[in-house]
Amino acid sequence: MDAAVIRRIREEKRLTQLYVAKVVGVTTDTVSRWENNRYPTIMHDNALKLAEALEVDLAIILKQEADSEESGNVDRLKNPKKSNWLYFLLFSAGILLFLLFLFLSNKPSSPAPVLQAKRSLPPFAAPGSQILIQVELSAEKPLPGMILKETFPAGWRFIESEPAVSHLDADTGVARWIFRKPLLKTRVYYILQVPEDIKADSDMTFSGELIANPEGQRTSALIESDRTMQVKPCHWADKNCDLIIDDVEILELSDITEEAESLHLDWDLIEKIWEVGAYQWDIEKKQFIPVQPPPQ
């Protein structure tokens, strides 16, 4: 195990030792010992999880140590018969390994599992408001674990999520979630605060990746958004920016409210806007106000 490589990769990805420890299932002291070469070896299962946490292939963090050629020469001089037996054993082992290679090469390898991820963005976001974002994850077969990595626009503030975020780098706008034995379909909801000074009519883009590492076979999928989000003084639940949350739009939120009811979002305000009939955006208070719709 290459301690220096482990530390370098973790620091380059701006991951904390606590985050890595949570993914692997060990203590932060163990991670520190790995990085300082106080544990020169590592169990295979932990090595796989460590590679998963660092989002790299297993081979990158393993260090191959060559045998000392000089010590071998000394042994051969001291005991030539032993050296001959050693050559014979090595030759026999080489033949066995070659036959094993032929057997395994003819055996079809299992393909990496297919991952899919889709992000649902609200079509509009008002400056200074909070918006809800949904990410749906799926895998074609059960996995021991996977990591969701989301990157949101710079300057936007992460408020909370369901499930809770595992690691957040607010400076770079990167959030990560760890899933242990996830369901074949999993949903993540999170709330962002839109900056007050953001330019109106701006088109905002997001990026993300879903990562899994079953049996050391790294696989990933980029997260595609269903739409581009535009900065306008419209509520995030108002799909067409007509300043009304109608029956269809309120019904679309019914499933979300059940799955993300623990989030402190403006559910009561949304229902109030729907009941009253319309809303307007208060620029000074940076909030939506229910109002009666104009007469037809």
Q: pLDDT over 70 for what percent of the chain?
A: 87
Query: What secondary structure does DSSP assign to the chain, as a single string?
Result: --HHHHHHHHHHTT--HHHHHHHHTS-HHHHHHHHTTSS----HHHHHHHHHHHTS-HHHH----PPPHHHHHHHHHH-HHHHHHHHHHHHHHHHHHHHHHHHHHTSPPPPPPPEEEEEE--SEE-TT-EEEEEEEEEESS--SEEEEEEE--TT-EEEEEESPPSEEETTTTEEEEEEES--SEEEEEEEEEPPTTPPTTPEE--EEEEEE-GGG--EEEEPEESS-EEE-SS-TT-TT-SS---HHHHHHTHHHHHHTTTS---HHHHHHHHHH-EEEEETTTTEEEEEPPPP-
Instruction: List residues bridging with 207 in a β-sheet.
Output: 151
Q: Mind listing the pLDDT tens digit for each residue in 91-113? A: 788 888 777 766 665 555 556 66
**Per-residue tokens: 88:** 């014979």
Residue 6, phi then psi, degrees to nearest 5? -60, -50
CATH class of 3-61: mainly alpha
**Per-residue tokens: 83:** 């050296």
CATH number assigned to the domain covering 115-291: 2.60.40.10
Q: What angle do CA 133, 134, 136 make, to 5 degrees?
A: 155
Stretch 178-192: mean pLDDT, rounded?
92
Q: Mind listing the pLDDT tens digit for each residue in 28-83? A: 999 999 899 887 778 888 888 898 899 888 888 886 544 334 444 444 444 555 55
Determine which of 100-109, 136-145, 246-255 has the lowest per-residue pLDDT on average.
100-109
Contact, 153 vs 193, CB < 8 A?
no
> Which pLDDT band, with edges at 50, 70 and 90, does 283 fall under?
confident
Whether 1 shows a pLDDT value over 80: the answer reads no
What distance in Å separates the CA atoms of residue 192 and residue 205, rounded to the nearest whole number?
Answer: 13
pTM of the model: 0.73
Contact, 165 vs 190, CB < 8 A?
yes
Contact, 115 vs 208, CB < 8 A?
no
Q: How much is the mean pLDDT over the chain?
A: 86
